[in-house]
């Protein structure tokens, strides 16, 4: 799902645009999940166009730790590992202008226009989910229009 500002002309031409600019506001900077045998901790650091995550863990029964980014209707797996590590999740970075006809623009066409971008991006409410074994913890965050 993607929401972009834009215009629809009477003749069906649509103009969609965005100039990415973000300010990330997390409810905290550390998220912990697990139990006595398996645990994981996620530390988050905002970046200009996304965030960096560092995962530490202690696994006895569990096989992996997963970190997902959630939007309104979709979830993107940003980290899926058996060992501690780091990852970077970035939102769209380049300004975008799409001019098309409403009957010609498909989800696949839009993905192609976004250079194959698969993920979650935009402004509004999102969450990060940390999963280890059967335990999962979620942290909400907001992305506001950045200051220029």
Residue 133 CA to residue 111 CA, distance in Å, equals: 33
Per-residue pLDDT tens for 62-82? 899 999 999 888 899 999 999
| Cβ atoms of residues 126 and 70 within 8 Å | yes
Closest by CA to 34, choosing from 53, 51, 59, 55, is 59
> What is the SS3 assignment for 107?
helix
| Cβ atoms of residues 57 and 65 within 8 Å | yes
Residue 78 CA to residue 44 CA, distance in Å, equals: 13
Torsion, Cα of 76, 79, 80, 81 (10° steps):
180
Whether residue 2 is predicted with pLDDT greater than 90 in this model: the reply is no
**Residues forming beta bridges with residue 70, ordered by sequence position:** 75, 127
Per-residue pLDDT tens for 3-57? 678 899 999 999 988 888 889 999 888 999 998 889 999 999 999 899 999 999 9
Residue 107 CA to residue 105 CA, distance in Å, equals: 7
Q: Give the pTM.
A: 0.82
- What ranges do the domains of the chain cover? 6-106+125-145
Longest dimension (CA), the chain: 62
| Cβ atoms of residues 44 and 29 within 8 Å | yes
Per-residue pLDDT tens for 78-114? 999 999 999 999 988 888 888 888 888 887 777 777 7
CB neighbour list of residue 95: distance below 8 Å, 6 or more residues apart: 17, 18, 19, 20
Structure tokens at 135: 């335990």
């Amino acid at each position: 799902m993607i929401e972009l500002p834009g215009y629809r002309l009477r003749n069906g031409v649509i103009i969609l645009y965005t100039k990415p600019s973000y300010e990330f506001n997390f409810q905290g900077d550390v998220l912990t999940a697990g139990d006595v045998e398996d645990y994981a901790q996620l530390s988050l650091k905002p970046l200009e166009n996304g965030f960096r995550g560092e995962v530490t863990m202690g696994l006895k029964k569990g096989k992996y730790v997963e970190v997902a980014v959630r939007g309104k209707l979709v979830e993107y797996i940003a980290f899926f590992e058996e060992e501690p590590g780091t990852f970077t999740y970035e939102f769209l970075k380049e300004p975008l202008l799409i001019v098309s006809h409403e009957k010609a623009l498909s989800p696949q066409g839009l993905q192609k226009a976004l250079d194959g971008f698969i993920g979650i991006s935009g402004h509004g409410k999102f969450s990060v989910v940390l999963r280890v074994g059967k335990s999962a913890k979620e942290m909400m965050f907001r992305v506001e229009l950045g200051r220029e």
